[in-house]
Structure 1
Amino acid sequence: MRRNITPEGLWQQMGIVSPDDVDIEVMAYFCGARVKYRELTSCAARIVGKGSKAIITVDRTASIERQRFSIAHELGHWAQDRGQVSASCRSKDLAPFKLKDYQDDREAAANRFAVELLMPAQLFMKAAQGMAVTMASASYLARQFRVSLTAASIRLVELGSFPAIVVCSNLQGYRWSWRHPELPLSVRVNRLISRHSVAHSLITNAGLASPGPVTVDAEEWVSHPGVEEYVVVEDSVRIGRGTVLSLIWWEDETSLVKLE
C-alpha cells in the first residue's frame, strides 16, 4: 500500500463498483496485510507491520460487522504508518461515531478510513438517495454495506438527502450525536433525554417494543429560537441493554430555512 492512499483510491485500484464486491480480507491482502482471527481479551483488534507486510488480528468472538470494521480500522493505521506499525485497539477506539478531529487523532483517523472504505460516499449517496431517515432505511443500508446499524445510521445522517441527527442515549442520559453537515449550528441537541420521547420510554421500559417513526415536538430533542413551533420525526430502537439509538428527521425543512 502506498502512503496516503485513500479508501476511494483503493476501491478504484481493485476495480470494485458495488458493495457486493467488497471482501475486506481480500482488500487487506491487496494492501499487504494478512488477517487472523483469535480470541482476544486485552484488545478488540491489533496490527503489526513492517516494510510492506502486516498482520491484522481481530477478535473471532465479535460480530461479522464488528470484525469487518476492525479490519478496516487497522488498515487505516496501516495507511497512516506504512513502513512500521504496531497498534492494539480497544472496543472504545473502534467506534464509528468517533470521527471528529480525525486529522489530529490517530484512532479517529482510522475510524474515518474504515467508514469511507466500507461505505464510500458516492456509492452510499446513490443507495440512500431520497430515503426517509428511519431505522428501516438504516437497516436496509446496513445489510447492503454489511456494517452495523449504528455505522449505517451515522452515514445516512451524514450523506442522506434530508437534514437529520442521530443520537445515542442510555440510563445516564445523552452519550453522543452526529448531525447532517448542512444542519444550522444554532440547532443544538438537548443533553437531557425528554420523558416525552420514545427513546426515554425504551430506556426505562425494557419490555416496550419500538413503535417505529413517530411525530414529536421538536423541543423534545433540540433547542433554538422558535423550536416550539414545529415537529420532527423520531425513530428510536434499542441497540443494547439500556442503550437506544434515535434518528431525528426534519421531514418538513421549512423551520430550518427560516433559521438560515
Structure 2
Amino acid sequence: MNSAPTPAAKAEQVLASMGITDPPALHLDEIANAQNIRVGKRELPDDPNLSGLLLFRGKKRAILINTFIHNTGRINFTFAHELGHHFLQHSPTYFSDGQQGFRCTPEDMQTGIHSKEAEANRFASALLMPEDQFYFSMVGAVLDYTLINNLARQFYVSKHACCNRLLEFTKDPCIVIRSQGYLITEIKTSAAARRKLPALKQIPPGTVAYEAITAKRNQNAFEVSDSAKWFLKPNHSIQLYEWTRGDWEHGVAMTILRW
C-alpha cells in the first residue's frame, strides 16, 4: 500500500504538474484556478486573529485571505497554507453556519502547533520556496540578514518564512532566536546546531543581543559573542558570533547565532 506523499513531495508534484519554474508565489491564483477554488482577498480589521479560511461546500472550495496586515510575504504564505489543506486532503476542523473547512490564525502560520497546521506550513514553505530553486540561490552564502532579505524579496515571502527555510538547508551551525522584549518566543536551529542551546526563556544578560534590545539598536554585522553566556557547556575552541535586529516599535527582535 502506497503511503501519502509528504507535504514537501506534494508541493513538488503540484509545481511539476503546472510547469512552474520561476518563483511560485507569482502563480498561486493559477494553482487555485486549476483546482476550481474560488479566492477572495479582503481587509478584515475587525478580525485580526484570522489569517485565512478554506471553506468546503459539497465539492466546492473557496479560500478567503485577510489582507489587513499589508505584508505580501505573509499573504502569500497564508494563501499557500490554505492550498496545503486542500492538496493534503485534510479533514475539516472548522464548522460554522452550515459551512466547514479551516479557520487559520497568525499563530497557526507562525508555529503550526497542531499537526494539520504544521503539515500545511511545510507544504506552503516547499511550494513557495522549492528546494531546487531556493538551494541554488543560497548555496555558498552565510546565513545573515542580507541573505534573508534578498531571498525573501526573490521568492515573495516573509523574512520569517525565508529564515526558517534557510535553516533547513544550511550546513553551518546556526540558531535563530525570536523574542518579545527579553522574553524568548521561538528558537529555530539548523541541523548542525541542534541540542546545543539550553531551553532558554529569556535573552541572557551580558550578551550582544541583550545589549542591542536594551538600547533598541540594530546591529549592522555579526559581533563576537561569549559562548558561556548562551551555552550550558561552552566550547572555547569555537568562536561564537551574534547579530540582532528588531522592530522596536512593536518590541520584537531576532537574533542569529553562528559559529
TM-score of the pair, normalised by structure 1 = 0.82
Given the alignment of the two structures, is residue 170 of structure 1 paired with residue 180 of structure 2, yes or no? yes
From 87, 92, 109, give the equivalent of 1:79: 87
SS in structure 2 opposite 1:6? helix
Question: How far 1:75 moved relative to its partner?
Answer: 0.8
The 5-angstrom pairing of residues 51-200 of structure 1 reads: 52-62=59-69, 63-81=71-89, 86-95=101-110, 98=111, 105-188=115-198, 190-200=200-210
Question: How far 1:170 moved relative to its partner?
Answer: 1.9
Q: RMSD of the TM alignment (CA)?
A: 2.5
Question: How far 1:210 moved relative to its partner?
Answer: 2.5
Given the alignment of the two structures, is residue 29 of structure 1 paired with residue 33 of structure 2, yes or no? yes
Contact 2:40–2:64, Cα closer than 8 Å, also in 1 = yes
SS in structure 1 opposite 2:204? coil
Q: Which amino acid aligns with 1:12?
A: A
| Cα pair distance change 1:180/1:89, threshold 3 Å | same
| Cα pair distance change 1:52/1:163, threshold 3 Å | farther
Question: How far 1:189 moved relative to its partner?
Answer: 5.7
Q: Within 2, Cα distance between the matches of 1:58 and 1:80?
A: 19
Given the alignment of the two structures, is residue 17 of structure 1 paired with residue 21 of structure 2, yes or no? yes
Given the alignment of the two structures, is residue 220 of structure 1 paired with residue 220 of structure 2, yes or no? no
Question: How far 1:20 moved relative to its partner?
Answer: 6.7
Q: Within 2, Cα distance between the matches of 1:114 and 1:239?
A: 25
| Cα pair distance change 1:221/1:120, threshold 3 Å | farther
Contact 2:43–2:66, Cα closer than 8 Å, also in 1 = yes
Given the alignment of the two structures, is residue 210 of structure 1 paired with residue 219 of structure 2, yes or no? yes
* Structure 2 gaps, min length 5: 93-99
Question: How far 1:151 moved relative to its partner?
Answer: 1.1
Q: Within 1, Cα distance between the matches of 2:124 and 2:227?
A: 33
Q: Within 2, Cα distance between the matches of 1:21 and 1:93?
A: 20
Contact 1:235–1:248, Cα closer than 8 Å, also in 2 = yes
Question: How far 1:86 moved relative to its partner?
Answer: 1.0
Contact 1:213–1:233, Cα closer than 8 Å, also in 2 = yes
| Cα pair distance change 1:12/1:215, threshold 3 Å | same
Contact 1:214–1:234, Cα closer than 8 Å, also in 2 = yes
TM-score of the pair, normalised by structure 2 = 0.83
Q: Percent identity?
A: 26
